């Protein structure tokens, strides 16, 4: 995402396809009826807002999450499947990112892929 007047990069994001394993209780929470544990997803692999712009463009991180959701919904129309957006929230450098993702509708996953807790595996249902 670039600033229109200067062309400078304000925020960037990298998206990759992913899959998460959910428990029975987690599946119920999302009203998922099918019998498989592994659910297709799109992962926010990288997300960053340039600190020089974060005051001027408040909400840009949230906008990027919404843009990722839009991409995931769009890909379901055609070439791949995603029920969730996922992220490994990097709490090693800033514990606040957990609050950022929670405010954007992400829930921590029961099954933590990264047990050293430098990151928290989270998901957001793109259909709610
Ligand atoms: C995390 C990041 C993408 C958030 O972007 P942002 O543009 O500041 O986020 P928003 O303005 O959309 O914030 C939405 C809400 O989350 C809160 N929030 C955002 N970053 C936060 C943080 N680091 N700690 C606590 N709360 C935070 C905001 O205060 C805001 O709350 P409000 O709605 O109650 O006002 C940005 O701070 C960043 O690039 N950080 C460095 C890289 C990074 O940690 N990326 C994530 C790696 S998984």
CA of residue 117 to ligand 1 center, whole Å: 19
> Ligand 1 mean position to 15 CA, how many Å?
18
Q: Read off the pLDDT of residues 79-96 as tens digits, 9 standing for 90 and up.
A: 899 999 999 999 998 999
Return d(Cα 65, Cα 47) in angstroms, integer: 9
Say if ligand 1 is within 6 A of residue 46 CB: no
Angle at 36 between CA 32 and CA 38, to 5 degrees: 95
CA distance 119 to 25: 22
Q: Is 53 in the pocket of ligand 1 (CB under 6 A)?
A: no
pLDDT tens, 50-84?
A: 999 999 999 999 999 999 999 999 999 988 999 99
Residue 116: pLDDT over 70: no
SS3 content of the chain, % helix, strand, coil (to 5): 25, 30, 45
């Amino acid at each position: 995402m670039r600033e229109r007047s200067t062309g400078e990069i304000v925020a960037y994001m990298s998206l990759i396809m992913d899959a998460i394993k959910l428990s029975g209780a987690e599946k119920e929470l999302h009203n998922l009826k099918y019998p498989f544990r592994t659910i297709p997803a799109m992962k926010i692999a990288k997300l960053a807002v340039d600190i020089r712009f974060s005051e001027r463009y408040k909400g840009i991180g949230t906008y990027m999450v919404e843009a990722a959701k839009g991409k995931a919904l769009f890909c379901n129309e055609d070439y791949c499947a995603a029920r969730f957006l996922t992220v490994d929230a990097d709490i090693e450098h800033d514990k606040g990112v957990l609050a950022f993702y929670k405010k954007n509708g992400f829930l921590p996953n029961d099954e933590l892929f990264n047990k050293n807790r430098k990151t928290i595996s989270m998901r957001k249902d793109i259909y709610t």
